[in-house]
Amino acid sequence: MRCDKCRDEAVFFQPNSGRHLCGRHLALDIETRAKHSIRSHRWMSPGDHIAVLVSGDRKTAALLSFLKKLTADRRDIRLSAVPACGADTRGASRSSAMTVVESLRIPCIEMPLPGGSGTAAQEKVTKIALAISLDDIAQGVLGQFLFGNAGRLMHPSSAGSGPLPVICPFIAVPSDELDLYWEIGGTGIDLPPGIPARDTLPQETRAILEDYSRLHPATKYAILHLAEQLSSGDAAATAIAGATGPGTGETKMSSPQKRPNS
């Protein structure tokens, strides 16, 4: 199958657009959507120091790689990496995360502690970037409705606590596209697929969502738009609220005590 943009060999079929895309045009499309999310939510400002949580999977590596590319020519924005803390990011995963960070030549710092100490506080980090995907939000938001926690979406600031605002550039990009984005433009390091922010849905309910989305490719985007409307456009807080389990207030990408919130 040929790419609908350039007629090179296609590597991916995009259900929501109906297009077959080669690696180069898929990467460009992902970057365009991520940049649109950043612009529309005003997630970057001159003087920012953005810390990216990296968990040793393709999704977080893709975010780190994208933000490095985006800020490469900007001297007014700093970028650092933060190894994610928690049971799912120990051992081999942490080692993989550090390998990615070193391969991209991005400085590594530690998350600030609740008291405001730690290298991130010393380095004056202004924002935390999370690799929350469209799938994470769609499953999480649906889960909140099913468990009767829609209020967490309408008042997302109550979903958790933390000292720094959060940005989520990949909220409009499905996880499988992010995995490919790393394979296409990464540093050649073999990593496992993206880890869901949190498994908030029972297996059978998640299967229903995936089956319905295959028939109606715009479903997950519609859920994202609904969540943003409920939260008055606070997409980052909505992403965290949707990606946390009912009543837990924590994500798999960080420890409960250190998770940032917008």
84-103: per-residue pLDDT in tens? 765 444 556 778 888 999 99
Residue-wise pLDDT tens digits, 237-246: 666 665 654 4
Which H/E stretch holds residue 82? strand 78-83
Can you give the pLDDT at residue 49?
Answer: 96
Residues forming beta bridges with residue 51, ordered by sequence position: 80, 128
Can you give the pLDDT at residue 200?
Answer: 53
- Mean pLDDT across the chain: 80
Q: Average pLDDT, stretch 142-157?
A: 72
Can you give the pLDDT at residue 123?
Answer: 73
Can you give the pLDDT at residue 116?
Answer: 53
Model confidence at 134: pLDDT above 90: yes
Q: Residue 100 and residue 7: Cα distance in Å, rounded?
A: 32
Q: Which residues of 83-111 are buried (b: 16+ CB within 10 A; e: fewer)?
A: bbbbebbeeebbebbeebbeebebeebbb
Model confidence at 234: pLDDT above 60: yes
Q: Average pLDDT, stretch 7-17?
A: 94
Residue-wise pLDDT tens digits, 43-73: 999 999 999 999 888 999 999 999 999 999 9
57: closest CA among 203, 169, 183? 183
Can you give the pLDDT at residue 249?
Answer: 40
Q: Which fold has domain 43-242?
A: Rossmann fold (3.40.50)
